[in-house]
Structure 1
């Protein structure tokens, strides 16, 4: 509930009698700022709420869903507020089972889950690990972030369904010796947001990421690389099978001309560092281009539009996303960005300061217009 509220959702909580044995309704009232339903009669419920709630909300998530609740849903039983809401529901339902591993394996439970899936109810597979009963195995409730992301996908238009997106993110590390390397301030947040939103909108997403502390978005294939050369090779192998490439990574333009096998020791007053130019990945990829949409990014400190247009023409891009990295509230290592998107037809779209997920949505809207 807390994560959903933080994401901007209006949350209504319904608790079963079993749930009330673990936590009181006041906890969820505090978290959501709304009433908590606990029974068909009284307990925060309005008359006919068992009908209205399942029709007025955008989605219903059951977390955790016990074997008992799954069985009631499969059999069409409505003997409390929650199950009657489910019988009257007309909106998407996400079921997140959590139970003992042997209960999960039981054929009756699996049959019940199959019946729910046949009714177009989304069932999220539980995770493996230590269980509350002390056993080890499948039956754990997925992490909250994973459930929230699955719920977001459930209420999002799947306009990228059947599409394959290739996204790059993060910096590259160009090794000088086993200890030191050349890099930049990129955190990978923009690229990871693009991958997450693309997956949410139904795409099959491959994220080629330079070194980053961020977790892989749920449902996204992540390929970790270190250098510009490694990133180029990873993209070249995957680009022919993709529908769109979003090149959000901040790739180092140069690398040390030679990498030392041992740590360079202190001693001399001055050390001369020779640099070699890295491959221009977008130019290399251009030779493989068929019908793919290719989106480049320009992190600039001055002459934003002019530099972006030059880069766009030089690399044959369909879209380019430019931003001023000197700002402290946009660009590297923050959760917000203010970008200018230039279209291949010359159109310029200036976006205000938004979260990086919101920027990702806007960029993907433009990509969707260009897909064949």
Structure 2
């Protein structure tokens, strides 16, 4: 005899659950049917305990790769005619991410209660965005849920590729910047104090640049703990501020104005907007509802507010072209494509072309980002090295020159 956990529905259609001993799952299912309960799930207690232990992995993050695999597999299963509950059960069993498995179990529980998949997904906003949920809802209404999951897969694939490209391109300048800061701290704490002790024995007036460097070094050594504490406190305070609505908005607006990387951030956000709106329109989502959903996935609060202003303008019976022009974030070529899309009634196709245009520009900009940043980093490094070299070695050079003149 083994102990099983079961879930089912009684004669009144109510959801019931409990634990019972039986020889096998089939044997327990027969017992439940004889007692008027239609079994939905029968799990061996050891397996149930293991699944409960998986909840300890809820702190594991659901990454882009997990969502890509989830949407792709859902498309394949639904297209093959597999029922939704069976498809979710299969994905839960094969999921390598315990948190995603727990989320899928939650979706199955909601479906058992008679809710729709989109309604169940709304209970997990950290996993399924409103854009994701709205498209799933359209798929349920139109009976084309498999096509929706395929479109979501392609959208998430573009998102993941863009983020990975930008992250890869920013890795080199970030590494160089960290190395420069570490070098400056090391020189201030260890190198300059050693030279300062040597210079004191010369008993001569040092150059201004050297005196400035020595003063900075002495201040750093004397108040190192205070500076470190202030730096940590400043980072924590900045992080807290950036998590507020106002701080996040200002930071996202500032990111768009940064040299070199700002235009890439803007084009990537606008590509997300255009691609997302194209998908929503192709799926049959109304324009206003689609724009409200897409505004939440552009990954930039500044542009999201501009999109929200566009949505409000459309509510006031303004055209898409007028609201896009007023937003001030689109190029003239894109505005012209939006206008043509409105006139021809093919806004969904034209928005797809806008997305493709921005995506190509982002790909090219990211591919050449390293080449454009390297000269700037070389200038910065050369400036730091020059200042340190002059400040540290100029007194030695002056003393050597004086000694040579004194010898002659």
Q: Given the two structures, how large is their TM-score scaled by the length of structure 2? A: 0.27
Structure in which a larger fraction of residues adopt helix: 2
Which structure has more relative contact order (CA 8 Å, sep 6+)? It is 2
Which structure has the highest strand share of the two? Answer: 1
> Could you tell me the TM-score, scaled by structure 1's length?
0.29
